[in-house]
Chain A
Amino acid sequence: MRQAEIALFIAKRMLSALPLLLGVVVVNFLLIQLAPGDPITVLVGDNPVSEEYLNQIRAEFGLDKPVWEQLWIYVVQILHGNLGTSYSRHQPVTELLLDRAGNTLKLTLTAILLATVVGGLLGVLAARFRGRPIDAGTQTVTLLGFSVPEFWLGQILILLFAVNLQWLPSGGAYSIRTGDAGFFATLNYLILPAVALSFRYVALISRMTRASLLEVSNADFVTAARARGLSDGGILRRHTLKNAAPPVITVIGYNFGFILGGSVMIETVFSWPGIGRLLYESIGSRDYPVLIGILLVISVTVVIANLITDIVHMLIDPRVGQKA
């Protein structure tokens, strides 16, 4: 029974993601159509090619056909993993993105992990010692997290820890001398950008954890546990945390898009060779196919992240499925 419900929920939720994906593709298509210059240049790049090849491309992308048909052909190309060719690098966009995706994931996932641990801890402490200095301190950190531009925080971290103290490198993902020497060699390079990127999410997660814990702490089962004589710490460990977790997990998942956006800024500040840095370089060289390819990949990632968040949320919090 329960399993059938879960399957139905997942199926419904996946269906509802389809229009969003289609919308994302249409936005990309419109941007290509409206972008300055000939769409053919957007697809092939600036490099001189034969008239024959141009005709072949025109036919392949149906540029002589009506707009609706062109959109369909664009969708088919995307499903084949073809996102066009970079102007400045003369390489397929898909290849460029795959090269960089690993670094972006490494940075964003580290930041999320860091934010979850630090933010969760601060939130628990703030809720446990409500109204005390540690609560006030956490709320100050929260306000700052929402206000300080993350890229500027990155610059300040470079100023402090790379320029002045010289503890950590100011940018890049590995030393040019040694090359990419595995995860631990990268760690030094990862610390500053991950801290800068995580700050806003430390704020978000600590605020959410605190609010969620305080809400649960008024629930009947907590009162009952208290009546049974459980200690505050015991109640927190055994009851409240488990029940306060779903909203916190949801907020992490729904904000994945913002973390990717933040990653674009942070990668630029730290010359971190990920998709964000590629975006920055491509804006400089007006490399439209790469820009639009990046937008597509990030938008689709966000839709999928939201989908997974909903499903996970449903699995850990049975109330969700019943509402739908």
Chain B
Amino acid sequence: MTDNSSDSTLALATVEREGLRPPRNRFVEAWSGLSRSKIAVASLVFIILVLLMGAFAPLLQTNDPFAGGKDALLPPLSGEHLLGTDHLGRDIWSQLVNGARVSLMVGFSVAAAATVIGIIVGALAGFYGGWIDSLLMRITEFFQTLPRLVLALIIVALFGSSVTMLIGVIAILSWPQTARVVRTGFMSLRSVAFVDAARVSGMPRTAIIFREILPNVLASVVVIASLDVGAAILTEASLSFFGLGDPNLVSWGGMLQQAQQYLAQAWWMAVFPGVAIALIVLAFNILGDGLNDALNPRLKERA
């Protein structure tokens, strides 16, 4: 009893000294940190709006995004076509709201999958060390060396371009950064007093990993995940621009591919989808930076 309490006092002391706190109120804290940055909050609001736009695309679209018509290449504000039409007479606004779905679905799915893979690899490497660490880090290094975009292009070209395929390929190429950060976190926390305390008290390894250590590295993981969403949206757009998007869905990158042949006649075909991609990626990047400042305050002075 006495031993236990002195252990936890020691743990608490370490916690205070190292600035590590138990995961309580973490979200409240993160939000209060984030809400101090107006531009980060604005980005979050923008992301939510685009999410809603994608969710309610069938209600927001003014036309069937696939339905062509005789009114081809109409400029913006022509009658019922708010943002004009493309070379087949399809309504740009309706394509744009539907494209939000693909971008966000790919972005969030990739970030989620990459985070899970990264946490597993990083936690195993950092917690166990030794040959497991060396092996996993060699693999991570290898994946970081691969030219991501080119490999994704070629795999999708060889094996087909369904949206599941796109998500899978981009995710497989996106996890190394998370793995590295989680590993570093685990290595520095492996022998911190409150982890030792948990170990001595007989807590099973999985519980130590998930309940004691992981919450303390989540801050960095969340930051990377936010940046991953943006990066995945860019990669999906690049693949679609190559004609390797899901052929059954409207995507912003695919719209830009169509626009390429009509740059001289229809600027609106290129401008609107491109602005959409740039803004949503910008929003995730700003949100990532904001989260970084809010969750890792010690890093702030370095930036």
Residues of A within 8 A of B (CB): 19-20, 23-24, 27, 31, 34-36, 143-144, 146-149, 151-152, 155-156, 158-159, 163, 170, 211, 215, 257-258, 260-262, 264-265, 268-269, 279-280, 283-284, 286, 288, 291-292, 294-295, 298-299, 302-303, 306
Contact = CB atoms under 8 A, between A and B. Distances in A.
Contacts of B282: 143-144, 147-148
A280 B145 contact: no
A106 B212 CA distance: 52
Given A146-B285, A295-B154, A283 B145 contact: no
B230 A147 contact: yes
Contacts of A291: 154, 157-158
Contact of B277 (A149, A268, A302): A149
Interface of B: 138, 141-142, 145-151, 153-155, 157-159, 230, 234, 237-238, 241-244, 253, 256, 259-260, 263-264, 267, 270-271, 273-274, 277-279, 281-282, 285-286, 289, 302-303
B153 A151 contact: no
Given A149-B234, A159-B267, A159-B270, A294 B150 contact: yes
Return the 5 tightest CB-CB contacts between A and B, nearest first: A261-B149, A152-B274, A147-B282, A147-B281, A257-B147
Contacts, number: 137
Contacts of B277: 149, 152
Nearest to A303: B145
Nearest to B149: A261
Contact of B263 (A144, A147, A158, A268): A158
Given A152-B256, A155-B256, A31 B271 contact: no
A149 B238 contact: yes
5 contacts: A19-B138, A149-B241, A156-B271, A279-B154, A291-B158
B270 A152 contact: yes
A17 to B, nearest CB: 9
Given A155-B256, A155-B260, A170-B263, A283 B242 contact: yes
A286 B159 CA distance: 11
Contacts of A302: 145-147
